[in-house]
Chains A and B, each alone.
Chain A
């Protein structure tokens, strides 16, 4: 019971932190929509072309804009010492990463999930494909959160090269992009592709606590 209370307090703290910096999340979403506008300006306003490449554009931009806020994943808590305090309160590093991953999913990825329908209207994506986009992004965004946790915990002690974290996420997200964009184009294959996406999610979800927990431990020991 005490443990559950601690978890609830953890999420309450995350909620407070994210709400005090709500402009960051909104800036991410503005970045997302602005890049859609820029894409349309560069492709040209032809309806046919836009609706064929629309899903790919949405997925690419979701990936890019969710990597923007990776810097804040562990960095603030690491620098002001909260990470160590949470660990001293009885959470193992692996468990902290799981909690943090869900918090990132809730406070950074879910706003994107809500802004997908508007993007679909802008990009002329038909309504019946919206369901596929939602399911694939619902699974894929959790995978992206796990990858973000791995890469940002790797880069805690990296003081020089800030872009490296985004590059690491992008290189591991290649299979997710391939299969999730494939879902929209192959509707009769829907179930099998969803299974593949789930498989990737489970693999990454299993690696995540191990890899990022080890990195967190290393950074705290060597700081």
Chain B
């Protein structure tokens, strides 16, 4: 597992796994789209709009997961002086921002036919919007500092301080009375979703994950090269 903290090891492994990951992501994405459009049933209340879930839920999970991994890497990088964490933060923040944006846009497209509005000031929605702004600020910090050493550590500190938002997002549906429904899939209890809808959801989640991993590999490699040549 050394390739997760060592840039040169990471380069070696990434060359091996990049093409398989890309092929796998295309296959999974095609399969997931097939499942979600043709092989899964309509909801008895929501009709065909329930299919938005197969984009909305995976992107929301991955937005949270990306931030959680960034927090972990920031702590590791600051505590053990491992520069790969800083590389990871710089490379992955735009991916997380795009996932959050997909989640917000698909959610409001889903909200218009179901709730009657594009947007409500609900705890879950607001906290996800704040997550999106936090991602944007991380990107802005990356763009506006000139000194690389200071920039990376400031980003890491900001990521750690901003991670207080994660539990708020996760538990906002349990703590407050919200319009957004509580979690239907959890590890401890039996999921309250039908297997025929569960299958495309899981497939789409893995497809999104693979696409994210493929883009992340490309961006991390670019970042390593630009660090080596002292470009920024």
Contact = CB atoms under 8 A, between A and B. Distances in A.
Interface of A: 150, 154, 157-161, 164, 167-168, 171-172, 174, 203, 207, 211, 214-215, 218-219, 222
B147 A157 contact: yes
A-B pairs, top 6 by smallest CB distance, nearest first, are A161-B144, A157-B150, A160-B144, A154-B154, A222-B150, A218-B150
A167 B141 CA distance: 11
Interface string B104-145: 000000000000000000000000001001100100110111
B140 A154 contact: no
A218 B153 contact: yes
Interface string B12-39: 0000000000000000000000000000
A158 B161 contact: no
Nearest to A219: B150
Given A171-B130, A172-B161, A164 B150 contact: no
B161 A215 contact: no
Contact of A211 (B130, B137, B146, B157): B157
Interface residues of B, number: 21
Interface of B: 130, 133-134, 137, 140-141, 143-147, 149-151, 153-154, 157-158, 161-162, 164
Given A171-B130, A171-B133, A172-B161, A215 B144 contact: no
Contacts of A167: 137, 140
B17 to A, nearest CB: 35
B145 to A, nearest CB: 6
B130 A214 contact: no
Contact of A154 (B147, B157, B164): B157
B137 A171 contact: yes
A157 B158 contact: no
Contacts of B141: 154, 158, 164
A212 to B, nearest CB: 9
A219 B143 CA distance: 17
A70 to B, nearest CB: 15
Contacts of B151: 157
B144 A218 contact: no
Nearest to A217: B153
A164 B144 contact: yes
Given A214-B157, A218-B149, 20 more contacts: A154-B141, A157-B145, A157-B146, A157-B154, A158-B141, A158-B145, A161-B140, A161-B143, A161-B144, A164-B137, A168-B137, A171-B133, A172-B161, A172-B162, A174-B130, A211-B157, A211-B161, A214-B153, A215-B153, A218-B150
Nearest to B151: A157
B160 to A, nearest CB: 8
Contacts of A222: 147, 149-150
23 contacts: A150-B161, A154-B157, A154-B158, A157-B146, A157-B147, A158-B144, A158-B145, A159-B146, A161-B143, A161-B144, A164-B144, A168-B158, A171-B133, A171-B137, A171-B162, A203-B164, A211-B161, A214-B153, A215-B153, A219-B150, A222-B147, A222-B149, A222-B150
B137 to A, nearest CB: 6
A196 B147 CA distance: 39
A150 B154 CA distance: 10
- Scoring B133, B146, B151, B157 by chain A CB atoms within 10 A of each residue's CB, the highest score goes to B157
Contacts of B137: 164, 167-168, 171
B169 to A, nearest CB: 13
